[in-house]
Structure 1
Amino acid sequence: MRAALRPARRHRPTVRGEELQSLTGEPVEVETDDGVRLHVEVDPADRPDAPTVVFQHGYALTADSWHFQRLALRGRYRLVLPELRGHGRSARGPAGPVTIARLADDLGQVIDAVAPEGPVVLVGHSLGGMTVMELTVRRPDLLDRLEGVALVATSAGGMSAVDHGLPMLGHHLVRWAELALERAAGRTDVLERSRRVGGDLEQRLVRHWNFAGPVTPELLRLAARMMAGTPVDVIADLLPAFGTLDEREALANLAGRPVLVLAAERDLMTPAAHGREIAEAVPGAEHVLVRGAGHLVMLEHPSVVTARLERLLERVGTQRVPSADEVVVPVPGPRTRRRRR
Structure 2
Amino acid sequence: MTAPATFVLVHGAFSCAAHWGPVARGLARRGHRALAVDLPGHGLDARVVVGDPATSPSGMVARSTAGDVEVVLEAVRAAHEHGPVVLVGHSRGGLTTTACVNAAPELVDHLVYVSAWCCVTGGPTAYQGAPEYASDLDALLPRLVAAPPAELGALRVDWGLDDPELVDGLHGALLADGTRAELLAMLRSMDTDEALVIDEDAVRVDPARWGRVPHTYVRLGRDRVMPPALQDRFVAEADAAVPDRPFRVVDLPSSHLGVQVHPEPLAEHLVQVAET
Describe how 1:224-303 pairs up with structure 2 within 5 A.
224-227=187-190, 230-231=191-192, 234-235=193-194, 238-241=195-198, 244=200, 247-250=203-206, 252-280=208-236, 281-282=238-239, 283-291=245-253, 293-299=254-260, 301-303=262-264
Residues 209-260 of structure 1 deviation map (CA, whole Å, 9 limit, x = unaligned): 21233x1344213311222xx14xx32xx24439x57744335534354421
Structure 2 equivalent of residue 151 of structure 1: 113
Q: Is residue 2:135 matched to residue 1:164?
A: yes
SS of 1:89 mapped into structure 2: helix
Matching residue's letter, 2:186:
A
Residues 216, 134 of structure 1: alpha-carbon distance in 2 compared, 3 angstrom cutoff: same
Identity of aligned residues (%): 21
Match for residue 223 of structure 1? Answer: 186
Q: Which amino acid aligns with 1:88?
A: G
The 2-side partners of 1:129 and 1:195 are apart by 23
TM-score by length of 1: 0.61
1:54 positional shift: 0.5
Per-residue displacement from partner, 1:276-331 (whole Å, max 9, x unpaired)?
2333324232112333x32114135533222211211111xxxxxxxxxxxxxxxx
Does structure 1 residue 304 correspond to structure 2 residue 265? yes
Match in the other structure for 1:82: 37
**1:50 aligned partner, one-letter code:** P
Letter in 2 for 1:209: A
Distance 1:123-1:101 versus aligned 2 partners, 3 A rule? same
CA spacing shift, 1:218–1:65, aligned 2, 3 Å = same
Unmatched tracts of structure 2, length 5 or more: 48-57, 120-125, 240-244
Give the residue type in structure 1 aligned to 2:198: A
8 A Cα contact 2:41 2:59, kept in partner: no
Output one character per residue of 1:100-157: Cα deviation in whole Å (capped at 9) or x when no partner: 333112211233456545321101101212111011123x2xx223111110011223
Q: Is the 8 A contact 2:12 2:89 kept in 1?
A: yes
How much has 1:202 moved relative to structure 2? 5.5
**Which whole-Å CA distance do the structure 2 matches of 1:64 and 1:262 have between them?**
20
Does structure 2 conserve the Cα–Cα contact (< 8 Å) formed by 1:160 and 1:171?
no
Contact persistence 1:118–1:145 (CA under 8 A): no
Length-normalised TM-score, structure 2: 0.73
Deviation at 1:179, TM superposition (A): 7.0
| 1:135 aligned residue | 100
Please state if 1:50 is matched with 2:4: yes
Q: In 2, Cα distance between the equivalents of 1:98 and 1:279?
A: 28
Question: Letter of the aligned partner of 2:255 in structure 1?
Answer: G
Counterpart code for 2:265: V
- Structure 2 residue identity aligned to 1:102: G
Q: What is the rounded CA distance, in whole Å, between the counterparts of 1:209 and 1:304 in structure 2?
A: 20
Tell me the amino acid that sits aligned with residue 179 of structure 2: T
Whether the 8 Å contact between 2:101 and 2:108 is mirrored in structure 1 is no
The CA distance in 1 between the partners of 2:12 and 2:210, in whole Å, is 20
Aligned amino acid, residue 198 of structure 1:
D
Q: Aligned-pair RMSD on alpha carbons?
A: 3.6
1:154 and 1:274 in contact (8 A); partners too: no
